Amino acid sequence: MTMKLSDFDFDLPEELIATRPARPRSAARLLVAEGDRITDARVYQLADWLRPGDRLVLNDTKVIPARLTGRRRRAGATGDTQARIEVTLLEPAHDGAWRAMVKPLKKLRMGETVCFDAGLEAICEAKEEAQAVLRFNLEGTEFDAALNAAGAMPLPPYIAARRAADAQDREDYQTVFARREGAVAAPTASLHFDRPLLAALAAKGIAFTHVTLHVGAGTFLPVKVEDVTTHKMHAEWGEVSAAAAEEISATKAAGGRVIPVGTTALRLIESAGREGHIAPWRGETDIFIYPGFAFKMTDALMTNFHLPRSTLMMLVSALMGQERIRRIYAHAVASEYRFFSYGDASLLIP
């Protein structure tokens, strides 16, 4: 079955792209789609839509300040020259080096050093597939400390194009339960949760399970093929612990609903549950979910509003059906919901 990229397109007015989050976090709007019914609500009312015994699956990955501005120095016949280099870390390579997006990549030579603030330096070891492999002069806790001092939050391209990251983003672009460092993009549906909301949900008998998926910059990559079934998905590292798998199984057995918060948590539990039961799991997942996919673990999904023609539009279409998602998104645009990472949320109940 072929599916065309245009099947997942819609017109989004530029002014609906959020550049800052709602304050407080849980004041964001919540579009609840239950079957064919659409209701406009607020995130702080989430407990009204859930039942005691339901389980929310949260991604506890922590975003690192992966955007760095540095200078490369070069000695030439006319003296030393300096040039500004923008680096966004993507993922650690196996041997301690980092894969990174570099601008301008073609100006950076192999073996050249880029100097950043806080004593951080990197040597360009390789260039492959429009990325550079950089080796830093620091490692372990020294590297973490220097990166925290020198780096900025890696805001998504559609926000970065409109404003630079600032100190406020260090708080805004991190979930309140972020624990395990390694993401270069936030699991954005989880940004809506604050302590009062978590307490209200717990008081109603809703349980939480933490899993980890280190969100990569690939989450923003456009789909370039017209037949979407031939798209090659990026891989991201994740882990479902034995305790998490047990909690999810127990909820299923007791008739509760398993509701991932965010497409990252959904992709992870579906990777770990392909056999129809969930097992402890760790490794890289490149699971690609599009219409026709058989969900084994997910009973509903809380997620933000996604980019046209993206793999995430395909994922929500697989869960709710393409026609229904078209109606949901038409309602969101007409009602001026705020879109993307800092935007509003939806609760999708098939």
- Answer yes or no: do 274 and 319 share one domain: yes
Q: DSSP code of 104?
A: T
User: Side by side, which strands form the sheet with 37-42?
Assistant: 37-42, 29-34, 345-349, 301-304
Q: Is the residue at 163 inside a domain?
A: no
Q: Decide if 105 is inside a domain.
A: yes
Tokens of 5: 């990229």
Assign residue 123 the CATH number of its domain: 2.40.10.240
Residue 308 and residue 283 in one domain: yes
Based on the domain organization, do 286 and 198 belong to the same domain? yes
Q: Rounded distance, CA 42 to CA 45, Å?
A: 5
One domain for residues 200 and 342 = yes
309 and 173 both lie in a single domain: yes
Q: Are residues 246 and 336 in the same domain?
A: yes
Surface-to-core class of residue 164, CB atoms within 10 Å of its CB (0-12 exposed, 13-18 middle, 19+ buried): exposed
What is the tens place of the pLDDT at every residue in 79-91?
A: 888 899 999 999 8
Structural domains counted in the chain: 2
Q: Are residues 190 and 301 in the same domain?
A: yes
What is the model's pTM?
0.93
Q: Does 177 lie in the same domain as 138? A: no
Give yes or no: residues 21 and 105 share one domain: no
Q: Please give the sequence-ordered ranges of beta strands (E in DSSP) within the chain, or none if there are none.
A: 29-34, 37-42, 55-59, 61-63, 67-76, 79-92, 98-103, 113-115, 121-128, 131-136, 180-183, 207-213, 236-240, 258-260, 281-285, 301-304, 345-349
pLDDT digit string (tens) for the chain, length 350 residues: 678 999 999 999 999 999 999 999 999 999 999 999 999 999 999 999 999 999 999 999 999 999 999 999 888 888 888 899 999 999 888 788 999 999 999 999 999 999 999 999 999 999 988 899 999 999 999 999 999 999 999 998 889 899 999 999 999 999 999 999 999 999 999 999 999 999 999 999 999 999 999 998 777 667 888 898 898 888 899 999 999 999 999 999 999 999 999 999 999 999 999 999 999 999 999 999 999 999 999 999 999 999 999 999 999 999 999 999 999 999 999 999 999 999 999 999 99
**Domain end (from 117, 150, 183):** 150
Task: Mark whether 266 and 295 lie in a shared domain.
Answer: yes
- Please give the residue range of the domain that contains residue 55: 5-63+169-349
59 lies in the same domain as 71? no
Q: Say whether both 56 and 103 belong to one domain.
A: no
Q: Is residue 164 part of a domain?
A: no
